[in-house]
Each structure stands twice: as structure tokens, then as C-alpha cells.
Amino acid sequence: MSVDADIVRKIGHLARIKLKEENLAGLADELNVILGFVEQLDEVDVSDVEPMTSVIPATLRTRKDEVTSGGYADKITSNAPLSEDNFFMVPKVVE
């Protein structure tokens, strides 16, 4: 499988990264080198192999469903590039 400039433009949008039109062809070449490299995996027979879900034998711990932390909206928003009254400020989303 390989990608071309159109697919790279589409992936760029999915990843929310603005790509310059003049860079698309070069990026497609770079991505194709990497995709070509990972294609080696096609040599491996993985029928009857379960995909790994956890690298160590572990089950997720559970705990009581209760509030354990919170009440510090000022700290949460303290690093925001734009905030007001402990709210994050973003460009208008709803008309």
C-alpha cells in the first residue's frame, strides 16, 4: 500500500495538521519509505495469533465510583493560551 499527495492531504486534515501544498509530494515519498519498511510484516504468518493487548499480565484495577479529585478549575486553565473566568476560550463553534 502506498500514499500519494491527495491521500497525504486527507491524512493531514484527519490529524489536524495544516500541510503546505508544495510539501505534499515530498511527504508522500517519506511516508512511502516507512510504509515500504513496515511491509516486511507481510512475511509473518499471524493466523491463529492473538493481537497483544497488554505487555504484562494485568487486569485493570477497579475502585469505588466516587469523586477523588477536583475543585481547581483555576489550576486546570492556568496554562491556557486564552481563558476567562476559568473557562477555555476558543473561536466561535456554533453560529
Partner 1 sequence: MSDLIKLSLADIQKGLKAKKFSASEVTSAYLNEIDAANPKLNAYVSIENEQALSMAKASDEKLAKGTGGALEGVPLGIKDLFATKGAHTQAGSHILDGFKPEYESFITNNLWQDGAVMLGKLNMDEFAMGSSNETSYYGAVINPHRASGSNKDLVPGGSSGGSATAVSAFLCAGATATDTGGSIRQPAAFTGTVGIKPTYGRCSRWGVVAFASSLDQAGPITRTVEDSALMLASMAGFDKLDSTSVDLAVPDFAAAVKRGVKGLRIGVPKEYRMDGMPDEIEKLWQQGLAWLKDEGAIIKDISLPHTKYALPAYYIVAPAEASSNLARYDGVKYGLRVNGDSIDEMYENTRAAGFGAEVQRRVLIGTYVLSAGYYDAYYVKAQKVRTLIKRDFENVFNDGIDAILTPATPSAAFGVNDQEMKADPVKMYLNDIFTVTVNMAGLPAIAVPAGKDKAGLPLGLQLIGKPFDEETLFAAGRVIERSAGLDFTPKKRW
Minimum distance between the CB of residue 44 and partner 1, rounded to whole angstroms? Answer: 6
The contact set with partner 1 (CB under 8 A) reads: 1, 3, 7-8, 11-19, 27, 30-31, 33-35, 37-41, 43-44, 46, 49-56, 58, 60-61, 63, 72, 75-76, 78-82, 88, 90-93
Q: What's the min distance (Å) between Cβ of 87 and partner 1?
A: 11
Cell 466516587 sits on residue:
66
Considering beta carbons, is residue 58 or 67 the nearer one to partner 1? Answer: 58
Selection from 3, 34, 11, 9 nearest residue 23 by Cα: 9
**SS3 (DSSP) at 52:** coil
First to last CA, the chain: 41
Write phi, then psi, for 54 (nearest 5 degrees): -145, 135
Which of residues 25 and 80 has its CB atom nearest to partner 1 in the complex?
A: 80
